[in-house]
Amino acid sequence: MADGTLKVGTITTSSGSGTITIGQSGETVNVSGAAGTGFGKVLQVAQTTKTSSFSTSATSFTEVTGMNVSITPSSASNKILVLMNASLGHGSGGTSAHVTLYRNSTNLGHSSNGMNEVSDANGSNSFSGGVGISWLDSPSTTSSTTYTIYARTGSGTAYFNNNSEYCSITAIEVAS
């Protein structure tokens, strides 16, 4: 059939499993209708933004208030890409400030150093900079999963988002 229109409600494999291939190498397949579900690799996106500052003198990781995002994977084999950006600093006399990512109650980073840090080499001056986390996680669940940023200080006080910049944490479900 050339240049015709095929009207069907459902296309399945003859065996009820396996792969359906549309088009051949060198051809282009366009989907002109509205995007449905199940296409592509990015299945859903969730994001939380934070505009307040958070300071802590805790020397073990503690939850950064309001810096969490929840997502429910549609398949246990899918992955979740988590992205975070913020400013992080420590006060004068402090040595370092650390951030890490938790999946529910599990620290996905190094137990004490986390996933990112700022540090003044001589430990006597206050220091601040931008930090990010990008982590491709395999939660292996279809239950609601919460990703949370935790922070701690090496000594003194750690400052997260000190000038109330807009920071965010984003969770993206990627099909396996």
Partner 1 sequence: MLINKVLEAIKKINPDAQASITDEDLNTIRWENGTTPISIADIQAQIPVVEQEIADAAAKKIADKASANAKLKALGLTDDEIEAIK
Compute the least distance from the CB of residue 148 to partner 1, in Å: 13
The residue (of 57 and 144) whose beta carbon lies closer to partner 1 is: 57
Compute the least distance from the CB of residue 170 to partner 1, in Å: 21
| CA–CA gap between residue 101 and residue 82 (Å, rounded) | 9
Residues forming contacts to partner 1 in the complex (CB under 8 A) are 52-60, 62, 65-66, 89-92, 126, 128, 157, 159, 162, 164
The residue (of 61 and 147) whose beta carbon lies closer to partner 1 is: 61
Compute the least distance from the CB of residue 167 to partner 1, in Å: 13
The residue (of 89 and 139) whose beta carbon lies closer to partner 1 is: 89
Q: Which residues contact 28 (CB under 8 A, 6 or more apart)?
A: none
Compute the least distance from the CB of residue 7 to partner 1, in Å: 58
The residue (of 73 and 156) whose beta carbon lies closer to partner 1 is: 156
Residue type, 20: I
| CA–CA gap between residue 99 and residue 113 (Å, rounded) | 8
Residue type, 43: L
Strand positions, DSSP E, 51-95: 54-56, 62-71, 79-90
Instruction: Give CA separation, 141 vs 75, 77, 138, in Å.
Output: 7, 8, 8
